[in-house]
Structure 1
Amino acid sequence: MPVSSVASPLLLSLSASSSSFLSSSSVSFLPSPSSSSSFPHASVRGRPSASILRALRAEATTLPVINFTGEKVGEVALDIKAAPPSTARAVVHRALITDRQNARRGTASTLTRGEVRGGGRKPYGQKKTGKARRGSVRTPLRPGGGVIFGPKPRDWTIKINRKEKRLAISTALASAAVANDSFVVQEFDEEFATGPRTRDFVAALQRWGLDPREKAMFFSTELDNNVRLSGRNIGTLKMLTPRTLNLYDILDARKHFFTPAAIDYLNSRYGTTGFDEYEGDDGEDDGEEEGVEEQEEGEEITEEADQDAIGEAEADSIS
């Protein structure tokens, strides 16, 4: 993937803090660059401690509600949990690296000299030629030969706990809200009831104070088909639903706007109630727990089979 496709100022701010999203000058949950040096390297690359997942705090932020014409009609509270400043940067960084690395297909492959076709015959004699000694035309030192230490198909997937990933998303959303980069728009599906019109959608963005040339994220619980068709041709706009919500698009956007139903979803999903349902576990993914259960079941089956075999052997000896 080219560097230009991922070199957004908001993403680079995780290491340089160049934008207002993660800068120390704005009121944000993420710590200042000076405090990032105090984080141990293991907190980013290794397994997070239990204190990172339990030391949460809820922050309520008031977002303005505007209508389709751009007039403010009220306010709504975004009350979601965010990581404390001492661990917020590490949690967001780890989740972002995990998402980007897990997106790699890992299908790059090259042929070694043993896999390249041909090269079984020695091209010329060992001596009396004045040339270098060659045992095969498929040597890596000649064009058309094999590749030394080339890439082979591999799995780049790395693991992140479910709690930690949810915490990173809620921290990024809360930070954007505190930085005054978010607002709420009333439902406007009826405005596009007659059909999709990208021109009207761009005009609406301008009335809402958004520059169509800057990256923005629109989050809604349900996307009307005409609204989706009207906004999909805007290259700087990401239209997300609960199924497609991800950390990369949140950090990559300069502005975020939601529908009232989306705010209710975020409050229920990433608020106090949403995290309480995972209080009983230790932050591990369900996959690992299922693997342990399958292993225990396998051991039980093996023990039963051994007992049956012992019983049969004793019966044979008695007979």
Structure 2
Amino acid sequence: MASSATAPNSLSFFSSSLFLSSSHRIPKISISVAKPISGRLSKPLSVASQLATLPIFSFEGEKIGETYLDLKSAPEYTARAVVHRAIVNDLQNKRRGTASTLTRGEVRGGGIKPYAQKKTGNARRGSQRTPLRPGGGVVFGPKPRDWSIKINRKEKRLAISTAISSAVTAEGGAIVVEEFGDRFEKPKTKEFLAAMKRWGLDPKEKAMFLMIDVEENVAKSSRNIGTLRMLTPRTLNLFDILNSDKLVLTPAAVEFLNARYGVDALEGDEDDGGDDEDETEGAEEAEE
């Protein structure tokens, strides 16, 4: 996660603890899993396990315990590439690809020669639709196209778990807050800001909240805070993880992450979907 000095529009993942020298990180355990395919062993899938301990705060801001996240993450020498491929996939699949321009063969007009071939002192013009004249066609302009690209489901999940693992292993990068959905009797942004300060969060820094269920009063109390993103497992995405300075989880969200992206869930999550073929982003969101 980025510090407060990070540029507002820059993704903060690439300065996170995952890419610091080994002397600044907790030890990681390499795990190799070979999955049999057609009677043969495939190339071992190399992942790393980073165990992180997170403090649990009460709604009043007091530390009441600790919990842990044990997520699989990509090895250090491939982490950048895995996360980069996934974020490019997310952003590129959001492009609608509807931009369209007219070529000189499609623009209106130009059926007559503008002026005589000779005796004018001007260049020889054969059509008013030439790209060299105002109102003419566009050379190599954009046309409607499909920008979507594919990525393996396993690689997409590994990128998300790598980003979260990098966030929680950074000092002060993530905290856990007890369930507070029933603490807001009515929508009140001022009360939500006060709660954030009790948890040690700066409203000027970007924060991402991950909750299993977002109560209506909580959603309305936080929606006017421009630096805050309130997500659920269904809306969890890589961009918001990378673009946040602080990660705030609930105990139920921690259990979800350990079950979904933890090392113990490595074999179980591989099979949901039935095969290892590439899937588009829309299919992945529908699965989530």
- The match for 1:111 among 93, 102, 117 is 102
Separation (CA, whole Å) in 1 of partners of 2:228 and 2:18: 21
Greater percentage in strand? 2
2:265 alignment partner AA: G
Local SS of the residue matching 1:277: helix
TM-score relative to the length of structure 2: 0.82
Q: 1:227-306 residue pairs with structure 2 within 5 A?
A: 227-279=218-270, 283-285=276-278
**SS state of the match for residue 77, structure 1?**
strand
Report sequence identity in percent. Answer: 60
Give the residue type in structure 2 aligned to 1:233: N
Q: Deviations over 1:41-68 (max 9, x none)?
A: xxxxxxxxx75x8112333211100011
Partner amino acid, structure 2, of 1:191: R
Q: Distance in 2 between matches of 1:143 and 1:29?
A: 64
One-letter amino acid of the structure 2 residue matched with residue 27 of structure 1: R
How many matched pairs?
256
Q: Is the Cα contact below 8 Å between 2:192 and 2:222 reproduced in 1?
A: yes
By relative contact order (CA 8 Å, sep 6+), the higher-ranking structure is 2
Structure 1 distance, partners of 2:181, 2:78, is 40
- Whichever residue aligns with residue 212 of structure 1, its letter is P
- Name the larger-Rg structure: 1
1:134-190 CA-partner distances (Å, limit 9, x unpaired): 111111000011101111111111111000000000011111111130110001112
1:29 Cα deviation after fit: 9.3
RMSD: 2.3
Answer yes or no: is 1:196 the counterpart of 2:187.
yes
Q: Report what 1:24 is aligned to.
A: 20
CA distance in 2, matches of 1:71, 1:114: 70
Return closer, same or farther for 1:278/1:264 CA change in 2, 3 Å cut-off: closer
Does the CA-based 8 Å contact 1:196-1:226 persist in structure 2? yes
**Aligned-pair CA distance for 1:86:** 2.2
1:151 to 128, 142, 152: 142
Alpha-carbon separation, structure 1, partners of 2:27 and 2:160: 12
Letter in 1 for 2:166: S
Residues 139, 99 of structure 1: alpha-carbon distance in 2 compared, 3 angstrom cutoff: same
The match for 2:284 is none
- Label 1:252 to 1:228 Cα distance change in 2 as closer, same or farther (>3 A): same
Distance 1:67 1:278 in 2: 32
**Ranges in structure 1 where 5+ consecutive residues have no aligned partner:** 14-18, 31-49, 288-319
State the 1:23 CA deviation. Answer: 4.5
**Does the 8 Å CA contact 2:11/2:242 hold for their aligned counterparts?**
no
| CA deviations over 1:202-228 (Å, ceiling 9, x no partner) | 111111111100111000111001101
Q: CA deviation at 1:131?
A: 1.1
Residues 1:55 and 2:41 are matched in the alignment: no
1:185 to 168, 177, 180: 177
Q: Which consecutive residues of structure 2, in runs of 5 or more, have no partner in the other structure?
A: 1-6, 29-41, 281-288
Within-5 A mapping of 1:87-98:
87-98=78-89
User: How far 1:104 moved relative to its partner?
Assistant: 1.3
Task: Measure the CA separation in 1 of the matches of 2:57 and 2:269.
Answer: 35
Pairwise CA distance, 1:9: 4.7
More helix by percentage: 1
| Contact in 2 for aligned 1:22/1:28 (Cα 8 Å) | no
Residues 254 and 242 of structure 1, relative CA distance in 2, 3 Å threshold: same
Partner letter of residue 187 of structure 1? E
Q: Are 1:58 and 1:80, in contact at CA under 8 Å, matched by a contact in 2?
A: yes
Off by >3 Å, runs of 4+ in structure 1: 19-23, 278-283
1:102 Cα deviation from its structure 2 partner: 1.3
Separation of aligned partners in 2, 1:89 and 1:284: 23
- For residues 82 and 147 of structure 1, the distance between their equivalents in structure 2, rounded to whole angstroms, comes to 47
Between the aligned partners of 1:227 and 1:112, the Cα distance in structure 2 is 52
3-state SS of 1:276 partner? helix
Asked if 1 retains the 8 angstrom alpha-carbon contact of 2:181 and 2:218, the reply is yes
The AA in structure 1 aligned to 2:246 is K
1:278 to partner: Cα distance = 4.8
